[in-house]
Structure 1
Amino acid sequence: MPKSDAVSTAVAGEPRLMDPTVRASRSMARELLDPEFVEVGASGRRWTYDQMLAALPEMAGSSEDRPCYEPLDITGVLLAPGLVHLTYGTTINGRRTRRSSLWRRRSEGAGWQMYYQQATPVPPEME
């Protein structure tokens, strides 16, 4: 897969993980999260794959009738074959967060999945 295709595929995966329909469905989220997934959330909490899948349907942005995440300025770079690094921002309910994620594809023909995510809150004075 050419470099631009790998980055484009990972970039397309980020908004899917912010889609309330995907967030509310463990089976849909499972397709986009790597089994070795780890997140350090904006709260500082460390999340594992199992913890995230269990909690995601109840988390912010998991329902059409509540505030949803809005992605901002997603950019990416291919670090190595099968590994893409994305940086971007999100807003939800007036709060901004800067994010960094790693997407990987374990083998040719396999789908791209988020392997790692780091979220850092943006203080109001930095917006």
Structure 2
Amino acid sequence: MDDRSRHLKQLEERLFDPAVRTSRPALEELLSAEFREIGSSGMLYTFGDIVDQLADGEPEGIARTLTGFELKMLSDTLALATYCATRRYPDGREVKTLRSSIWRLEADERWRMLFHQGTLTR
């Protein structure tokens, strides 16, 4: 895995951290103002929708892991990340999703997520 792949994987994993997920400043560092997400529910979310939803928090004890990370450069400033995410709940239940994100190198030389989609899998 090259340095750019490692860096973008680390940024994806930061979004798994409950402290980051509930912090507007942290989300502004990671998500583009133009961010859009198609969630595993099939709903479309904007940056504001996601920040508002995540600010409410989630149940404690949820653990997230990322496996099978791959990065494909679409241009010098756009990258497509794909991976499998697993959410483990305190009761032992697991939910797996295939994830894809488009990251953009923005004018301030920071990579920010522009688009994300999650699809439930088995």
TM-score interval (norm. to shorter) = 0.7 to 0.9
Q: Out of 4, 7, 32, which is 1:9 matched to?
A: 7
User: Could you say which structure has the higher strand fraction?
Assistant: 2
Match of 2:91 in 1: none
Match of 2:100 in 1: 100
SS in 2 for 1:119: strand
Q: Out of 70, 75, 90, which is 2:70 matched to?
A: 75
Following superposition, the deviation at residue 59 of structure 1 comes to: 4.8
User: Could you say which structure has the higher helix fraction?
Assistant: 1
Q: TM-score, normalised by structure 1?
A: 0.83
Following superposition, the deviation at residue 29 of structure 1 comes to: 1.2
Match of 1:110 in 2: 109
* 8 A contact 1:103–1:112 mirrored in 2: yes
CA RMSD, Structure 1 to Structure 2 (Å) = 1.6
Match of 1:121 in 2: 120
Match of 1:49 in 2: 47
Query: Runs ≥4 in structure 1, deviation > 6 angstroms?
Result: none
Q: Cα 1:8–1:88, aligned 2, differ >3 Å: closer, same or farther?
A: same
Match of 1:36 in 2: 34
* 8 A contact 1:20–1:68 mirrored in 2: no
Query: 2:16, 2:50 → 1: CA distance?
Result: 13
Percent of matched pairs sharing the same residue: 31
Q: Structure 2 stretches of 5 or more lacking a match?
A: 89-93
Query: 2:48, 2:118 → 1: CA distance?
Result: 19
* 8 A contact 1:24–1:58 mirrored in 2: yes
Q: Out of 56, 62, 79, which is 1:84 matched to?
A: 79
Following superposition, the deviation at residue 116 of structure 1 comes to: 0.3
Query: 2:62, 2:114 → 1: CA distance?
Result: 25
SS in 2 for 1:18: coil
Q: Which amino acid aligns with 2:83?
A: Y
